[in-house]
């Protein structure tokens, strides 16, 4: 018997308790953790090269990946058989990608907390949208639909909270809790959609975050491309895979 089979053999109530417990632990950790201000060093990117009068050129131009992924997401959503709130989630995700591309390019043109707001506002809505669809697919369709707007608006509010109070705790919760809950739901509950695009999307996005944290070390390898630029490209590739999962339901196991 595999671990997956054993876990899914638990009662639904027990599986829901695990999901709710992890969620509660995340909120509790964010509440008791001391305020986390934005580190000014975050804006000190390794690749400061100028190309055709564009500062931080590769960090700015690599955002074209988000624009292309967003345009493709709009096209896929328009052609998708999805309806109702799930179709709305597709539109939100597509718009979030396009606005992330624009906001991130603006931020990297002149890195500061003031411009970073416009990067994070649309970006913040992406993973909560995926979380709502995962809830609808794995736990309850009604719950996913009911939570879509609160999750997205809450994530956007977390950015505004950071901009007002210089405290990243709500933003970190809105971004990283879905990255924990989504894989957990894939393990705990069966669903209708194929899991492969979503799993690979999350893995590639996580690899992009690792590259981002290694910005200077990656750039020092040959001075060709920085870790932050690679993060943009990997995140855009991850978004394409997630869009495939988001807008393409498949007949799988019933909830």
Residue 252 inside a domain? The answer is no
Residue 87 inside a domain? The answer is yes
pLDDT of residue 12: 87
| φ, ψ dihedrals at 51, nearest 5° | -135, 120
Residue 42 inside a domain? The answer is no
Q: List per-residue pLDDT tens for the chain, 255 residues long.
A: 576 777 777 888 899 999 999 999 999 999 999 999 999 999 999 999 999 999 999 999 999 999 999 999 999 999 998 889 999 999 999 999 999 999 999 999 999 999 999 999 999 999 999 999 999 999 999 999 999 999 999 999 999 999 999 999 999 999 999 989 999 999 999 888 888 999 999 999 999 999 999 999 999 999 999 999 999 999 999 999 999 999 886 554 333
pTM of the entire predicted model? 0.92
| φ, ψ dihedrals at 136, nearest 5° | -65, -35
Residue 232 inside a domain? The answer is yes
The enclosing domain of 137 has a CATH number of: 1.20.1070
| φ, ψ dihedrals at 250, nearest 5° | -135, 150
What DSSP string runs through 41-86? Answer: GGG--S----BTTBTTHHHHHTTHHHHHHHHHHHHHHHH----HHH
Residue 176 inside a domain? The answer is yes
Residue 242 inside a domain? The answer is yes
Please state, in angstroms and as integers, the Cα–Cα distance from residue 116 to each residue in 8, 15, 20, 67, following that order: 42, 38, 32, 18
Per-residue DSSP letter, 189: S
Which residue range(s) make up the domain with 194?
Answer: 3-35+47-247
Residue 211 inside a domain? The answer is yes
Our count of domains for the chain comes to 1
Residue 120 inside a domain? The answer is yes
């Amino acid at each position: 018997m595999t671990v997956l089979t054993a876990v899914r053999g638990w009662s639904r109530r027990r599986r829901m308790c695990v999901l709710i417990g992890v969620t509660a632990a995340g909120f509790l950790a964010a509440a008791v953790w001391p305020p986390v201000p934005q580190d000014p060093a975050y804006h000190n990117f390794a690749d400061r090269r100028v190309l055709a009068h564009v500062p931080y050129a590769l960090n700015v131009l690599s955002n074209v990946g988000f624009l292309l992924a967003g345009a493709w997401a709009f096209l896929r959503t328009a052609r998708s058989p999805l309806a109702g709130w799930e179709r709305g989630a597709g539109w939100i995700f597509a718009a979030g990608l396009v606005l992330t591309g624009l906001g991130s390019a603006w931020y990297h043109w002149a890195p500061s907390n003031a411009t970073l707001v416009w990067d994070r506002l649309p970006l913040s809505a992406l993973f909560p949208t995926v979380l709502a669809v995962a809830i609808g697919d794995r736990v309850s369709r009604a719950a996913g639909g009911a939570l879509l707007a609160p999750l997205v608006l809450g994530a956007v509010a977390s950015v505004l909270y950071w901009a007002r109070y210089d405290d990243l705790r709500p933003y970190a919760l809105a971004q990283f809790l879905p990255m924990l809950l989504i894989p957990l739901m894939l393990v705990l509950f069966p669903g209708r959609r194929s899991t492969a695009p979503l799993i690979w999307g999350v893995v590639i996005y996580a690899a992009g975050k690792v590259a981002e944290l290694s910005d200077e070390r990656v750039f020092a390898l040959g001075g060709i491309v920085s870790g932050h630029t690679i993060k943009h490209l990997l995140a855009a590739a991850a978004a394409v895979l997630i869009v495939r999962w988001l807008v393409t339901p498949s007949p799988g196991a019933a909830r």
